[in-house]
Amino acid sequence: MTTKTLIGAAIAFACLAGAAQADKLDDIIASGTLRCAVTLDFPPMGMRDENNNPIGFDVDYCNDLAAALGVDAEIVDTPFPERIPALMSGRVDVGVASTSDTLERAKTVGFSVPYYAFENSVVVAEGVEGDSWDDMRGKTIGATAGTYEAIWIEERIAEWGEGTFRPYQTQADVFLALSQGQIDATVSTTEVANANVDSGNYPGISIIAKAPMVPDYVALFTMRNEYGLINYLNLFVNQQVRTGRYAELFAKWIGEGEPAQLTVPNAYR
């Protein structure tokens, strides 16, 4: 009797242990769905078409990843500040949300190798004098709160010891404030800047220069301890470049020119 109980217990335990060892990668494959956090007010990376369906570079990237895993993709619209709660509470599996891979953030989440890199441009309101970043000294400069460029602007203003920084909640609010003349300038990704100038929705704004900053490398992210999944993401990013899919997506969503280099010269990752 006791032997039987013991054997039963042992079998039950082995099953549990097996279940416990399944990692997030297994869970995603088993569930048949990959849930991606994508920020849908960040064109051309994430946005909605006229039928309100999610589209953009990040959306396609998530779909490619789901296809590689052999599962369905589910796009979860996640504003920038909500990326971490969404991941930690298990609402999403992976973040494909143009997230800058800062060391400070890497203490909290696990990043893949960079899957895209942004250059940033300085955009000014009508009637603002200047043709370089340094001419913005002492002016009121806005950006989307918590982005790589927002953090960079705050640091520059602190260095200058003059000028004002204005964070807004969405990219759209920044450009609204810029076209209204509430702020003198903004620094935003070149892709977004071009899209907004060309759209004609924001009269009077113009791009004056590239911002003198290190390119903004963005990475996929997931739980810090999910090495199996992070490993897979790294290989996936590599394959996207290798197969030419990266260049294809760049041409589709961003357009002319060369897609950004994802490696840093003279350094391993």
Binding site for other proteins (CB under 8 A): 80-81, 83-85, 88-90, 104-105, 107-109, 142, 145-147, 150-151, 165-169, 173, 176-177, 180-182, 223
Give the residue with the Cβ less far from other proteins, 156 or 166: 166
Nearer to other proteins, 165 or 197 (CB): 165
218/249 with CB nearer other proteins = 218
CB-based contacts of 86, cutoff 8 Å, min separation 6: 37, 76, 78, 92, 95
**The two three-digit tokens of residue 250, written as one number:** 């760049």
Would you say 81 or 255 has its CB closer to other proteins? 81
Which residues have C-beta within 8 Å of that of residue 115, sequence separation ≥ 6? 61, 218, 219, 220, 237, 240, 246, 262
The distance of Cα 176 from the centroid of its chain, to the nearest Å, equals 22
Amino acid letter, residue 67: A
Q: Where are the beta strands (DSSP E) in the chain?
A: 33-38, 47-48, 54-55, 72-77, 94-100, 110-118, 120-124, 140-144, 164-168, 185-189, 206-210, 216-222
Report the nearest approach of other proteins to the CB of residue 212 (Å): 21
Question: Cβ 232 to other proteins, closest distance in Å?
Answer: 18
Q: 221 vs 246, which CB is nearer to other proteins? A: 221
- Please report how close the Cβ of residue 169 comes to other proteins at its closest, in angstroms: 5
Residue with tokens 């010891």: 161
Structure token pair of residue 164: 């004002």
**Cα atoms in the 13 Å half-sphere on the side-chain side of 1:** 0
Q: Which residues pair with 140 in a beta bridge?
A: 164
For the bound state, the minimum distance from the C-beta of residue 167 to other proteins, rounded and expressed in Å, comes to 5
3-state secondary structure of 100: strand
Residue among 63 and 182 whose Cβ is closer to other proteins:
182
Of 26, 37, 15, the closest CA to residue 95 belongs to: 37
Q: How far is the CB of 85 from other proteins (least distance, A)?
A: 6
CB of 267 to other proteins, least distance (A): 24
Smallest separation (angstroms) from other proteins to the CB of 145:
6
**Judged by CB, which is closer to other proteins: 23, or 235?**
23
Q: Which is nearer to other proteins, 77 or 259 (CB)?
A: 77
CB of 219 to other proteins, least distance (A): 13
Distance between CA atoms of residues 94 and 230, nearest Å: 10
CA distance 81 to 1: 57
The pairing of beta strand 54-55 with beta strand 164-168: unpaired
